[in-house]
């Protein structure tokens, strides 16, 4: 990502692991890998929306978490075509958080979830098909576009027939190593989990 900045704008002190970035984002062409985090892409897209000169973003390689980028584009369209155009909008329910409650319901708990839009652009709406699938069989689930669902889907799998999760490498790069965290959680709850590269 450092090609976004001039060398004079970025410094790193290895002794205490402090990265300092200063300066102002300038208009131009930017390149980011699509397989690390959609958050970097979304951040740049929002920044581009308020810049006076045109900007372009080239996504290199496969784009993972594509639904999140589509949601960013939708928000940009609503708010930044030529400045804000909405005084009031209705925010739909959050499938990522709803996933925990939906899973609790599928595991036999008396839980009702409402306010989730089945036609939502949110990729995590996939939980509505994946949890019932994991309850019926040992399924193979790709986390390419739904990395935030892996922890709760792993619980659903562990409580049913097990499961195999692919495309989880990026989860090691999140705020914590989510692969290790999920394995520790399942083990602490009496389950079994293993990860390979």
Query: Tokens 């692969």 label which residue?
Result: 179
For the question of residue 148 being annotated catalytic, the response is yes
| DSSP string for residues in the chain | -GGGS-GGGEEEETTTTEEEE-S---SSEEEEETTS-HHHHHHHHHHHHT-SS--EEEEESPPSSHHHHHHHHHHHHHH-SSS---S--PPPP-HHHHHHHHHHHHTT---------TT-S-GGGGHHHHHHHHHHS-EEEE-SS-GGGHHHHHHHHHTTT-EEEES-GGGGGSSS-HHHHHHHHHHHTT-------
Q: Are strands 29-33 and 10-13 parallel, antiparallel or unpaired?
A: unpaired
Q: Indicate which residue of 62, 94, 145, 148 is catalytic.
A: 148
C-alpha–C-alpha distance, residues 78 and 61, integer Å: 28
- How many other CB atoms are there within 10 angstroms of residue 145's CB atom? 19
**Positions marked catalytic:** 148
């Amino acid at each position: 990502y450092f090609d976004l900045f001039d060398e004079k704008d970025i410094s790193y002190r290895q002794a205490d692991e402090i990265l300092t970035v200063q300066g102002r984002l300038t208009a131009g062409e930017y390149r980011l890998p699509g397989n690390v985090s959609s958050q970097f892409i979304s951040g740049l897209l929002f920044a581009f929306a308020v810049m006076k000169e045109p900007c372009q973003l080239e996504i290199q390689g496969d784009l993972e978490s594509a639904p999140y980028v589509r949601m960013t584009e939708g928000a940009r369209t609503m708010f930044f075509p030529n400045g804000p155009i909405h005084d009031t909008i209705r925010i739909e329910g959050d499938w990522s958080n709803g996933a925990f409650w939906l899973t609790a319901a599928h595991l036999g708990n008396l839980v009702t979830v409402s306010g989730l839009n089945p036609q939502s652009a949110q990729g995590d709406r996939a939980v509505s098909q994946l949890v019932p699938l994991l309850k019926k069989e040992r399924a193979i689930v790709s986390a390419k576009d739904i990395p935030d669902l892996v922890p709760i889907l792993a619980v659903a799998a562990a409580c049913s027939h097990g499961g195999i999760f692919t495309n989880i490498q990026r989860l090691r790069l999140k705020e914590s190593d989510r692969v290790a965290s999920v394995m520790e959680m399942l083990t602490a709850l009496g389950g079994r989990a293993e990860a390979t590269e």
